[in-house]
């Protein structure tokens, strides 16, 4: 029941968001969007309800990677890069935003406005290019309420 309510809330929320809304704003660590011409590696990720096919990731400092994230689930998911602490903060913001929205209270969409990944609707694929910058405690994650807790996360480590 809880999942169902969350799912509906998040879907309604996503429907109100243009895809381009995931612009600069909610800065997180671990790098920034990179240039397509500098992609050294393509990483395919499959998202389901609620898991990522990718369990962990090793990268090089300044490596440019293209992530292709295919959502084979019904629920929307996000694939975001940041530190463990930043993800925790992002989850708090997202939970608060969804709660307020459910109650019809004023709310900020800031939790959706991040510059470190993509939002993927069910049965869709989203891609982005990322240039990594060395940071401690980095991970990729989906911060939709309950999803991170279900295991939609993985450590990102640097090989040198």
Total residues contacting Cu ion by CB under 5 A comes to 5
Quote the least distance from Cβ 90 to Cu ion, whole Å: 12
Q: Are 75 and 101 in contact (CB under 8 A)?
A: no
| Binding status of residue 87 toward Cu ion by CB under 5 A | no
Closest CA to 39 of 133, 148, 131: 131
Sheet holding 117-120, edge to edge: 56-59, 153-158, 138-141, 77-83, 117-120
Closest CA to 127 of 33, 55, 25: 33
Interface stretch with Cu ion, choices 4-12, 20-28, 101-109, 150-158 (CB under 5 A):
150-158
Quote the least distance from Cβ 70 to Cu ion, whole Å: 13
C-beta atoms surrounding 65 within 10 Å: 21
| Binding status of residue 94 toward Cu ion by CB under 5 A | no
Interface stretch with Cu ion, choices 19-27, 107-115, 117-125, 152-160 (CB under 5 A):
152-160
Interface stretch with Cu ion, choices 7-15, 96-104, 120-128, 151-159 (CB under 5 A):
151-159
Interacting residues with Cu ion (CB under 5 A): 77, 142, 144, 147, 152
């Amino acid at each position: 029941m809880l999942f169902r309510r969350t799912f509906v809330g998040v879907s309604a929320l996503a429907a109100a968001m243009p895809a381009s809304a995931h612009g600069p704003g909610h800065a997180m660590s671990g790098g920034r969007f990179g240039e397509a011409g500098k992609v050294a590696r393509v990483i395919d990720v499959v998202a389901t309800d609620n898991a990522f096919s990718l369990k962990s990731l090793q990268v090089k400092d300044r490596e440019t990677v293209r992530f292709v994230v295919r959502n084979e689930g019904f629920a929307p998911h996000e694939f975001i890069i940041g530190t463990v602490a930043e993800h925790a903060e992002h989850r708090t913001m997202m939970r608060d935003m969804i709660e307020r929205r459910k109650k019809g209270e004023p709310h900020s969409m800031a939790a959706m406005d991040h510059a470190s990944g993509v939002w993927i609707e069910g049965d869709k694929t989203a891609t982005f290019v990322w240039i990594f910058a060395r940071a401690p405690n980095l991970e990729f994650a989906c911060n939709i309420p309950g999803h991170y807790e279900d295991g939609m996360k993985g450590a990102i480590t640097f090989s040198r």
